[in-house]
Amino acid sequence: MKQLLILSGKGGTGKTTVASAFIRLSHAKAYADCDIDAPNLHLVIHHESPAVSSDYYGLPKAEINPDKCIQCDQCQSACRFDAISKSNQYNQYIVDPFSCEGCGVCELVCPVDAILLKPAIAGELILYKNDTIFSTAQLKMGSGTSGKLVTEVKRQLKLDSEHVDLTIIDGSPGIGCPVIASLSGVDMVLVVAEPTISGISDMERIIKTATNFRVKVAVCINKYDVNMKNTEKIMEYCHKHDISYAGIIPYDPDAVKAINQGLSIAELDCAAGRAVREVYDKTADLLSRV
């Protein structure tokens, strides 16, 4: 099984638009949305079967037993995340679950064992399974361990698609923990870039990140015609650094209409739809050589 990961250095470049088109064009039997902070692939790729959901447990959270607490203040003094404070209303120490990192220092320093670390639900794992496998998740607002949740998304995808030839993964924007977890074990990365100053800078960062994992990288340019000068800069960068170039997709108002209707641009006969077919063919050729 080969895994194609689609990334972008920043949000809004059209990464999910390209990913959904690739899923349609390849008739992929297994795919995942690893943008667990804001998953949206399910809005374009619809499934008739209901989703199977399960709780995802991240870092534990500290809880203080007020009946045991002797208010020695050692826990508050030891907490480096300012997660523990004394409530004026109840005259007792409380833990802010959004600030608690589950490090366990407070539990360690408490002289009367009034603090326990308890498992906390940090998100939801979601799996659609019928003739195709779609794995995704939703991280709770303010929760951490996003990289671990991405690993779980990929794990449940792999368990149910061992005999699938191709897996397409829609990754997160940027170069943070979710992206690092997404990169692990993939065969190739397609970076969707946009011809803006910030787009070029963030493209360079994600290429360097992927290169550190020794993963083959290719680049396509979305909305290339909004700034031809910057499009040329991206092409020059790819040539200079020996990065495979997968093609260009124009800005297309019909693409916006398709997304608003919950459709992939591959389902429409429009400029962007025709262009993304060429990008897909080039990417599939590059992937076949990996």
Give the mean model confidence (pLDDT) for residues 244-272: 91
Looking at residue 131, what is its pLDDT?
Answer: 86
pTM of the model: 0.89
Q: What is the pLDDT of residue 52?
A: 92
DSSP state of 161: -
Q: What domains can be seen in the chain, in order of their start residue?
A: 2-57+125-288 (3.40.50.300), 61-119 (3.30.70.20)
The per-residue pLDDT for 198 is 93
Segment 98-132, tens digit of pLDDT: 899 999 999 999 999 999 999 999 999 999 988 89
pLDDT the model gives residue 164: 86
Backbone angles phi, psi at 211, to 5 degrees: -65, -35
Highest mean pLDDT among 82-96, 124-138, 254-268: 124-138
Tell me the average pLDDT across 145-155: 92
Please give the Cα distance from 191 to 186 (Å, whole number): 13
3-state secondary structure of 33: strand
Mean pLDDT score of the chain: 92
Quick one: average pLDDT of 154-160? 89
| Whether the predicted pLDDT of 142 surpasses 80 | no
CA distances from 243 to 3, 221, 228, 237, 238 (A): 19, 13, 19, 8, 5
Distance CA 22, CA 6 (A): 10
Q: Give the pLDDT score at 58.
A: 87
Chain segment 171-230, per-residue pLDDT in tens: 999 999 999 999 999 999 999 999 999 999 999 999 999 999 999 999 999 999 999 999
Nearest to 22 by CA among 276, 221, 261: 276
- Cα three-residue angle 102-209-217, rounded to 5 degrees: 135
pLDDT of 8 higher than 90: yes
Q: Which two tokens stand for residue 181?
A: 């977890």
Q: How many residues does the chain have?
A: 290
Q: Which amino acid is residue 36, in one-letter code? A: I
First to last CA, the chain: 12
pLDDT for 45 beyond 90? no
Evaluate if residue 89 carries a pLDDT over 80.
no
* Phi, psi at 274, each rounded to 5°: -70, -40
At 11 the pLDDT is 86
The alpha carbon of 227 is separated from its chain's Cα centroid by a whole number of angstroms, namely: 27
Helix pair 15-26, 271-288: axis angle to 10 deg: 70
* Average pLDDT of span 80-102: 90
| % of the chain at pLDDT higher than 70 | 100
CB 224 within 8 A of CB 250: yes
The answer to whether 273 and 265 are in contact (CB under 8 A) is: yes
Strand partners, 8: 173
pLDDT of residue 214: 92
- Give the single-character DSSP code of 50: P
For the segment 4-33, the average pLDDT, to the nearest whole number, is 94
